[in-house]
Structures are given as C-alpha cells and as structure tokens.
Structure 1
Amino acid sequence: MPAEQRIPLNRHAARVLPINPAGEVLLLHCINPSTPEAPFWVSIGGGLEPGEDERQAVVRELWEETLIRCDPADLRGPVQREVVEFAWAEYDIVQHQAHYLAEVGDPDVSFERMDAIETATTLGYRWWSLEALDITTEYVLPNVITAIHAAFAARN
C-alpha cells in the first residue's frame, strides 16, 4: 500500500514471555498480512484496552492467544521496555511496549479464543530453549531475542 494511503497508529502494548519448567519460552509463529511470505517468531501480547494497565493486558492477551492463565501479581518485570516501529497490514505503527516474564508451568496451548485476524496470521507456536534460539535460521524478531535474554537474566 502506498505510504500516503497507510494509516498511522501510535499505541501502548504489553507482551509476555511465558517460560515452562524446562526453561523454554513460548513464541508464536506469525505472518504480516501484507508480507505473508516472510513468517517470523514473536512474543505474545498486544495493545492495552481502555482502563487496562500493562499487567492486566498481559494476563488478558496470554489467555486470549493461548488459553494460558496467570495472575498479574505473578508477573516479573517489565524485563524490557522499548519503542518499536513497524508496518502491519495497512498501518504504520509506533508501539510503546513492555515485556514481562511469566513462569507458567507446563500448560496446554490453544488458539480457540483468538480473534479472526489473529487466527489468520498465526501459523503455530513453539517452546524454545535459549540454545535453539541461538542457532535457529528462522526469523525471530530481534527485540524479542533481547527481551528473552533479559527475562532469563531476571530468573537468576
């Protein structure tokens, strides 16, 4: 879509890095609707809803995207804050976001509560070890790698 037709969007988001007892982090394999040929791995999360704080958003997003439950009081962090700029579908987004850590046990993952756009753009999920992330040739968003290392440092 030409730049003059794109929609600017400035938003605040909260993201979560669920970690299981094996020390693996859960990431989603996604596509951008405007570039479906370039899949990527990303952390779970999304924009804050009106009246919601970051921790509430993390809990809601984790539930909506995976059916994993956690308590806001059990979150650690934020382990990383950043501003990211990216194009998504017809939007040019400036996103102020925070990553939190959640120790989640060994839960089942389900996409049954995702909305239509999430379902259409989510290819799957994977529990990643740090070692696997360090050697993968698949594209993991660089800011997510940084956040994951910060989350593991916060665990120690």
Structure 2
Amino acid sequence: MREPQPASATAASPSSASLGPDWVRGDDGLRHRRAARVIVLDDAGRVLLVRGHDADDPDRSWWFTIGGGIDAGESEEQAALREVGEEAGLVLGAGDLEGPVMTRAGIFRFLAETCRQDEVFFVARLDGAHEPTDHGWTDVERDVLDEMRWLTVAELRAEAREVFPRVLPDVVEQLADGWDGVVRHLGTEDDDA
C-alpha cells in the first residue's frame, strides 16, 4: 500500500475551490446533487475507502466510499463505474456491480455550504488486492482528499475518525458473504449531527 499523500500544499488554508455545477439549490435551500457510490470489497473482506477533509475545516477528516455525482444523461450504474475509474483507477464493467444495495440522503457541511446528497450504493467485489491510484483525481479532489486505504471491519469499528455512512461497518460485514437482494434505505442522515 502506498503511503498517504498530502492532499495539496493549500489544504491547510481555506479553499478557493467551490462546489461543482452539478450541485444545484434545492427547494429546501440546500445545495443538492444525486450521487452513485461503490462499496469496493476484496476477497479478504476489506473495503476500499477514501479519507478526506473539508478545506474550510482541515482538522476534521472522515472515511467514505468511492463515488460522486451523477452527470446529466448518466445512469446511476454508469456514474458508479466512472467514479471507481476516476477515483481509484479501477476499471469495471456493468456486470461487476451488484445492487443498488443501499440508499441514503446525506446532509453535511462542505466548502462553507450545507449540502444534501441523495446517494445510491453498489457493491463491487475484487479477487485479490487492487493498488488504488489517485491519477484520475480532479484539482478539487486533490484539495480535499487525503488517502485511499483498504480497511477491515474491525479497523472501521476502531477508527477514531468518522465513517460515512455510519452503518458502513455493519453493511460491509453483512455483504461479506454475498448480497441478499434487499435494498437498504437508510433515510436521511445528518453527517454533522
């Protein structure tokens, strides 16, 4: 596993980055977008996660699944496949995804804005380890993403930093032996609560 790389030399100062054009103001006044996320599991039962921080609050960092916004005209599945390629250098096909296995609406503070992201989660299972790469990260991602790492359920449960969604250790544990076909709807989670 490669050593964690610093997000950028400017990560410790307030960011000049802004939310992208896919974030639109919703009826509730919050910035909103739809996102596809992927719970990437290896054959050792580990999950590939990204650790990031808010450039406007660099002392707070958290772990989360690979994924991001769904582009106009893109299906949830297409977005999930694109995101694992961009964020982790992992090339998958549609047959490599299971699900969706879970949904949630996350409310969180990021880049000085309160945001709501409606997320759909898929699972991808890998035989053997994959060495993630950050070559596809955008400038904004380089400003706020700190590292990628494979974590076991025990490591997730022991992690002092926040993990999103909060139920991820339980979900990874449940998915270890296969998906039961049930889509878990988590409802709305306020990540700042």
TM-score scaled by length of structure 1: 0.87
Question: Shift in Å at residue 132 of structure 1?
Answer: 1.6
User: Is structure 2 residue 137 aligned with structure 1 residue 80?
Assistant: no
Is 1:49 matched up with 2:49? no
Q: Does 1:137 align with 2:160?
A: yes
Which structure 2 segments of 5+ residues have no match?
Answer: 1-24, 181-193
The answer (yes or no) to whether the contact 1:14–1:98 under 8 Å persists in 2 is yes
**How many residues are treated as equivalent by the alignment?**
150
Does residue 118 of structure 1 match 2:141? Answer: yes
Select the structure of larger CA radius of gyration.
2
Aligned to 1:30: 52
CA-CA distance at 1:84 after TM superposition: 1.1
Task: Report the structure, 1 or 2, having the larger helix content.
Answer: 1
User: What amino acid is the match of 2:176?
Assistant: F
Q: Which moved more, 1:132-141 or 1:112-121?
A: 132-141
Report sequence identity in percent.
Answer: 25
Q: Does 1:152 align with 2:176?
A: yes
Is the 2:153–2:169 contact (alpha carbons within 8 Å) kept by the matching residues of 1?
A: no
SS in 2 for 1:137: coil
Aligned residue for 2:5? none
Give the deviation of 1:130 after TM superposition. 1.1
Give the Cα–Cα distance (whole angstroms) in 1 for the partners of residues 56 and 171 of structure 2.
25
Q: When the two structures are superposed, what TM-score results if normalisation uses the length of structure 2?
A: 0.71
- Specify whether residues 98 and 85 from structure 1 end up closer, same or farther in structure 2 by C-alpha distance, changes over 3 A only: same
Q: Which moved more, 1:98-107 or 1:115-124?
A: 98-107
Give, in angstroms, the shift of residue 155 of structure 1.
4.1
